[in-house]
């Protein structure tokens, strides 16, 4: 795409950033406007100190609607692209770079862990290689869903994959990093470019064909 006239410099002179542009950036940082993290790595890094734990979460216990701020619009074409990748064996839910980033209360997580303990399913996520599975999250937390900061397209693509292939609905889960919602005073606007999916781990018992095509980071976004 050709650059706009306002950004094209004169011949022989470097392009200069206009004062109006600088003032706009400064205005966005002030006056109560939301801070925008530019990529998923930034979201994870800035939220790391508020991480509660990592666990497996059923997709129906997740929502892409934020209690504060507004998530970006779902791109159905991108969902279809991701579904195609999953079909070729490109799903790797346990790799850290593919984790979903979700917000919830510390109390919800504590309630869930206590429930697992009573059921004899208690797992220390910091020690065990097997992550806790919050399959009863909705019943334990009375229908309260965790908010997805990054990863809404992966969720929809997985749901599409399971529907189209007739896979067991028990496969509708993803590994999530849980962050304390009470520590965030601004919603995370996510316009990001995360790392590509790894193709090493197929969906257990379902995906068997190896990845044969390469995809750009843009195609794998969210």
Provide the pLDDT for residue 205: 33
The per-residue b/e assignment along 142-166, b for 16 or more CB within 10 angstroms, e otherwise, is eeebbbbbbbbbbbbbbbbbbeeee
Give the pLDDT score at 71. Answer: 87
Tens of pLDDT along the chain (222 residues) come to: 444 443 434 444 445 444 444 444 444 444 444 434 445 556 667 667 889 999 999 999 999 999 888 888 999 999 999 999 998 876 789 888 889 999 999 999 999 999 999 999 877 766 667 899 999 999 999 999 999 999 999 999 999 999 998 989 999 999 999 999 988 654 444 433 334 444 333 333 333 333 333 333 444 455
Predicted local distance difference test score (pLDDT) of residue 164: 92
Predicted pLDDT of residue 68: 83
Q: Flag whether 150 is in a domain.
A: yes
H-run or E-run covering 62: strand 62-63
- Within-domain flag for 210: no
Q: How many whole angstroms separate alpha carbon 6 and alpha carbon 4?
A: 5
Q: What is the predicted pLDDT for the residue at 26?
A: 44
197 occurs within a structural domain: no
**218, part of any domain:** no
Helices (H), the chain: 19-29, 40-47, 76-87, 106-118, 137-140, 152-165
The answer to whether position 65 is within a domain reads yes
Helix (H) or strand (E) holding 36: strand 36-37
Kindly state the tokens that stand for 128. 């065990």
Q: Is residue 154 in some structural domain?
A: yes
In a domain, 196, yes or no: no
pLDDT of residue 174: 97
> Which residue range forms the structural domain that includes residue 124?
35-190
Give the pLDDT score at 147: 96
120, part of any domain: yes
The overall pTM is greater than 0.85: no
Q: How many domains does the chain divide into? A: 1
Q: What is the pLDDT at residue 111? A: 98
Question: Count of alpha carbons within 13 Å of 193, Cβ hemisphere only?
Answer: 4
């Amino acid at each position: 795409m050709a650059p706009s006239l306002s950004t094209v410099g004169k011949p022989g002179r470097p392009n200069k950033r206009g004062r109006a542009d600088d003032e706009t950036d400064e205005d966005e940082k002030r006056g109560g406007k939301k801070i925008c993290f530019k990529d998923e790595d930034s979201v994870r890094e800035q939220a790391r100190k508020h991480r509660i734990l990592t666990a497996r979460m059923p997709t129906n216990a997740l929502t892409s609607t934020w209690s504060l701020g507004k998530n970006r619009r779902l791109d159905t074409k991108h969902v279809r692209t991701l579904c195609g990748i999953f079909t070729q064996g490109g799903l790797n839910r346990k790799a850290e770079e593919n984790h979903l980033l979700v917000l919830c209360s510390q109390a919800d997580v504590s309630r869930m862990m206590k429930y697992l303990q009573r059921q004899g399913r208690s797992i220390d996520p910091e020690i065990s290689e097997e992550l806790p599975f919050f399959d009863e999250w909705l019943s334990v937390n009375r229908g309260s869903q965790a908010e997805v900061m990054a990863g809404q397209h992966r969720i929809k693509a997985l749901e599409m994959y399971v529907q189209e292939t007739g896979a067991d609905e028990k496969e509708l889960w993803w590994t999530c990093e849980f962050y304390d919602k009470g520590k965030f005073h601004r919603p995370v606007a996510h316009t990001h470019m995360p790392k590509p999916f790894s193709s090493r781990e197929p969906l257990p018992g379902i995906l068997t064909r190896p990845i044969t095509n390469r995809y750009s980071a843009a195609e794998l976004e969210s």
